[in-house]
C-alpha cells in the first residue's frame, strides 16, 4: 500500500502478519533481503510485522486502518 512520506509523496509500505509457528526473525531477514534487491522506486519505505492484519467482518483488508498506523514524519 502507499502512504505519504515526509514530502507528502506516496511511498510503499509493507505490512505483514506471520502464520502460526513461523520464525519471525527468519521471515524479517528474508523480507529485508528481498526488499534490498529491489530497485529504489519499488523498495518499501518500511517493513512492519503485525500480530494480525485489520479486516472487515467479511474478511476484506482494511487499508485505511493500515494507513493510520503509519507514522508521519516531518
Q: What is the pLDDT of residues 27-53, one digit of tens each?
A: 989 999 999 999 988 888 888 888 899
Residue that the C-alpha cell 509493507 belongs to: 14
Q: Which residues does 48 contact at the CB level (< 8 Å), separation at least 6?
A: 13, 14, 15, 16, 69
**Residue ranges with strand state E in the chain:** 2-4, 10-17, 46-50
Task: Give residue 72's pLDDT.
Answer: 61
Q: What is the pTM of this model?
A: 0.71
Rounded Cα gap, residues 67 and 61, in angstroms: 12
* Average pLDDT for the chain: 85
Confidence of residue 13 (pLDDT cuts 50, 70, 90): confident
Task: Give residue 39's pLDDT.
Answer: 94
Q: Between these two residues, 4 and 37, which has the higher pLDDT value?
A: 37
Amino acid at each position: 500500500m502507499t502512504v505519504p512520506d515526509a514530502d507528502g509523496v506516496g511511498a510503499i509500505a509493507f505490512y505483514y502478519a506471520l502464520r502460526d509457528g513461523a520464525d519471525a526473525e527468519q521471515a524479517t531477514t528474508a523480507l529485508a533481503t528481498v526488499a534490498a534487491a529491489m530497485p529504489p522506486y519499488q523498495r518499501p519505505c518500511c517493513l512492519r510485522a503485525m500480530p494480525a492484519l485489520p479486516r472487515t467482518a467479511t474478511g476484506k483488508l482494511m487499508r485505511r486502518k493500515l494507513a493510520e498506523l503509519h507514522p508521519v514524519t516531518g
